[in-house]
């Protein structure tokens, strides 16, 4: 024992390779259990900080309950842990835990309890109570939010690689108001070295709340920001304060504000994103002209350096399609009864700009396509583009 363990104070630390193997073959629950029962493992984790390599993290907050869903890779099962006011449930793959069910549930009650728990959670698998009775008793005396924050901090603090997807979902407005700042403080306390995440999804109400939580992450690592507000009864405005901060996010390529929120900023503030999905009250002909010119690379050099909208989708509350016809002329293609498209050739490139209008949904889409794809479907697209460009220039004058 003395040959493989290094003494430190009144405890021990494990060799780095040993800890690496333990973390590699252990799931979230096993790491937490080892930290609780092994002082040597606790010491080692604190000194070596091994990467646990999580692929995705999802936190769902309800009144009296928090669900933490973790996934280590595309091939692994999702581990769900529900923190409740009275007990904690671990959700594991069926094969691993099916032999343990009888130890905790009576045979005649097992099927009924499985069915009841399956209604609370979606997906395959079974549920078992905390395996250690002492831990269960301690958990009963601990606030479920404190238990969640403890587990989150002592596992996520060992994540050094980039997390592909990180989602926070508050089920109700009340849950958001009650627990948001506790969770914010937990994130901020952990972030001596900010978490690196690729895609971030949340449903906060206020721009400042979103900015507060984003400050806890490595902003250079975020590529996509998705915001949804499913529990709000009406459209809520968002974006002006948030978008003002985006120059700090060097790698943010995509924003999706969903269909429940209305962006109350300016179109020009969104042009440095490659892909945008946003709902607005209305859009002016000047802004449509700006989007077209940016894609055709005919704006000023200073502006063009930061503008790169490859796929821009705008849903509108108020829009008159006749104004677009006056600006762009007759559409080249009527894809359906309520859908039509215009094509413009992008100079010095092998691409076309396609502007699509869905008059029923009141949405406009700007998208760049390869010339070969467009000409294969519409052989006369080049001739139409030149005619449309001439009309567009005349209307601008």
CA pair distance 7, 241, nearest whole angstrom: 52
Cross-strand pairs, 340: 357
3-state secondary structure of 184: helix
Q: What's the average model confidence in pLDDT over 4-18?
A: 53
The per-residue pLDDT for 294 is: 84
- pLDDT tier at 388, thresholds 50, 70, 90: low
Q: What's the average model confidence in pLDDT over 141-165?
A: 76
- Look up residue 385 and give its two tokens: 């583009």
- pLDDT tier at 199, thresholds 50, 70, 90: very high
CA pair distance 45, 49, nearest whole angstrom: 5
Return phi, psi of residue 313, to 5°. -115, 120
Q: What DSSP letter does each residue of 5-58 carry, written as one string? A: -EEETTEEE--HHHHHHHHHT--HHHHHHHHHH-HHHHHHHHHH------SEEE
pLDDT of residue 378 exceeding 80: no
Q: Mean pLDDT score of the chain, rounded to an integer?
A: 69
Q: What DSSP letter does each residue of 65-98 carry, written as one string? A: EEEEEEESSTTSPPEEEEEESS-EEEEE-HHHHG
Is the separation of the CB atoms in 235 and 271 below 8 Å? no
The Cα diameter of the chain in Å comes to: 86
pLDDT of residue 127 exceeding 50: no
Look-up: residue for tokens 């901060």?
245
The per-residue pLDDT for 377 is: 78
Is the separation of the CB atoms in 153 and 190 below 8 Å? yes
- pLDDT tier at 112, thresholds 50, 70, 90: low
For 49-81, write each residue's pLDDT tens digit.
Answer: 667 778 889 888 887 788 888 887 766 667 777
CA pair distance 27, 210, nearest whole angstrom: 30
Gyration radius (Cα) of the chain, Å: 27
Is the separation of the CB atoms in 92 and 77 below 8 Å? yes
Is the separation of the CB atoms in 66 and 174 below 8 Å? no
The answer to which of 18-22, 361-365, 393-397 has the lowest mean pLDDT is 393-397
Is the separation of the CB atoms in 90 and 197 below 8 Å? no
- Portion of the chain with pLDDT greater than 90, in percent: 4
The per-residue pLDDT for 94 is: 41
CA pair distance 44, 150, nearest whole angstrom: 18
- pLDDT tier at 118, thresholds 50, 70, 90: very low
The answer to which of 67-76, 112-121, 226-235, 280-289 has the lowest mean pLDDT is 112-121
Cross-strand pairs, 314: 278, 364
Burial of residue 374 (CB within 10 Å: 0-12, 13-18, 19+) is buried
For 237-265, write each residue's pLDDT tens digit.
Answer: 666 666 665 555 667 888 888 777 788 87
Is the separation of the CB atoms in 267 and 290 below 8 Å? yes
CA pair distance 322, 326, nearest whole angstrom: 6
Q: What's the average model confidence in pLDDT over 225-234?
A: 66
Considering only residues 58 and 25, tell me which one the structure prediction assigns the higher pLDDT: 58
pLDDT of residue 288 exceeding 80: yes
Considering only residues 107 and 67, tell me which one the structure prediction assigns the higher pLDDT: 67
């Amino acid at each position: 024992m003395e040959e493989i363990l290094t003494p430190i104070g009144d405890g021990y630390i494990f060799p780095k390779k040993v800890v690496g193997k333990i973390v590699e073959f252990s799931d979230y629950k096993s790491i937490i259990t080892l930290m609780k029962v092994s002082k040597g493992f606790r010491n080692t984790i604190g000194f070596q900080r091994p990467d646990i390599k999580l692929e995705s993290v999802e936190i769902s907050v309800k009144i009296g309950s928090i669900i933490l869903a973790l996934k280590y890779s595309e091939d692994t099962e999702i581990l769900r842990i529900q923190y409740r006011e009275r007990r904690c449930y671990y959700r594991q793959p069926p094969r691993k835990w099916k032999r343990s069910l009888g130890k905790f549930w009576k045979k005649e009650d097992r099927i009924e309890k499985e069915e009841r728990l399956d209604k609370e959670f979606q997906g395959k698998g079974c549920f078992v109570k905390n395996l250690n009775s002492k831990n269960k008793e301690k958990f009963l005396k601990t606030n479920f939010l404190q238990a969640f924050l403890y587990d989150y901090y002592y596992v996520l603090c060992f994540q050094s690689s980039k997390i592909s997807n990180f989602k926070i979902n508050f089920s109700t407005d009340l849950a958001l108001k009650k627990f948001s700042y506790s969770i914010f403080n937990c994130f901020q306390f952990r972030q001596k070295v900010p978490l690196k995440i690729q895609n971030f999804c949340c449903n906060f109400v206020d721009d400042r709340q979103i900015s507060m939580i984003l400050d806890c992450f490595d902003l250079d690592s975020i590529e996509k920001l998705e915001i949804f507000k499913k529990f709000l009864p009406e459209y809520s405005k968002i974006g002006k304060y948030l978008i003002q901060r985006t120059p700090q996010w060097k790698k943010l390529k995509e924003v999706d504000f969903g269909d429940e929120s209305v962006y109350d900023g300016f179109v020009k503030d969104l042009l440095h994103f490659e892909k945008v999905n946003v709902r607005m009250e209305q859009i002016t002909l000047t802004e449509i002209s700006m989007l077209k010119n940016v894609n055709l690379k005919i704006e000023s050099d200073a502006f063009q350096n930061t503008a790169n909208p490859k796929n821009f989708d705008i849903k509108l509350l108020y829009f008159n399609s006749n104004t677009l016809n006056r600006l762009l002329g007759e559409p080249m293609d009527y894809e359906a009864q309520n859908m039509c498209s215009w094509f413009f050739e992008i100079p010095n490139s092998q691409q076309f700009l396609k502007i699509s209008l869905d008059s029923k949904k009141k949405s406009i889409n700007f998208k760049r396509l390869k010339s070969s794809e467009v000409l294969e479907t519409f052989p006369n697209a080049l001739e139409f583009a030149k005619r449309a460009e001439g009309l567009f220039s005349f209307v601008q004058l």
